[in-house]
Amino acid sequence: MSLTVYRKAHFNAAHRLYKEEWSNEKNALIFGKCSNPNYHGHNYDLEVGVTGEIDEETGFLIDLKILKKVIYEEVEVPFDHKNLNLEVEAFKTVNPTVENIAIEIYNRIVKRLDSRFDISVKLYETPRNFVVYTG
Ligand code: NI
């Protein structure tokens, strides 16, 4: 038997999608409004899933206080109210698309939790656009 526990979180962040080697016109064509040279913000909604076996002694799959702390330290502190391109090391070289942000969040969380868990990251960039990354 396995079960998944979820924890939701939220952060606001600014970004710009662009490739330096492309002209402003080509960037605007490919990335649309997300290529605005002056950056813009999104309200990101995050759902982190932790799948595994329930601990028979406690009845917990994972202590949610621990998951809350990991998400706070690895995602909310470094990303909330930040410019992702300028203030998050990973996005100085990688375009901060919702895909790449989800992968970065996954990598940060996986390294903090026991390897017996399977992690999933669902990240909404808008209420209708979201990605799921499971490694
Ligand atoms: Ni955008």
Taking only the tens place, the pLDDT of each residue in 99-135 is 999 999 999 999 999 999 999 999 999 999 999 999 9
Q: What's the burial of 102, exposed, middle or buried (CB within 10 Å: 0-12/13-18/19+)?
A: buried
Please say if the pLDDT value at position 2 is more than 90: no
CA of 10 from ligand 1 middle (Å) equals: 16
At residue 1, the pLDDT reads 78
The tokens for 114 are 């026991």
Contact 51, 113 (CB under 8 A): no
Q: Which residues contact 51 (CB under 8 A, 6 or more apart)?
A: 2, 3, 4, 5, 61, 117, 118, 119, 120
Please give the positions annotated as active site.
34, 81, 125
Percent share of the chain, pLDDT over 90: 96
CA of 43 from ligand 1 middle (Å) equals: 10
- From residue 113, alpha-carbon distances to 4, 10, 71, 93, 123 in Å are 14, 20, 11, 26, 19
CA of 69 from ligand 1 middle (Å) equals: 27
CA of 2 from ligand 1 middle (Å) equals: 36
Q: Is 73 helix (H, G, I), strand (E, B) or coil?
A: helix
The tokens for 8 are 């939701």
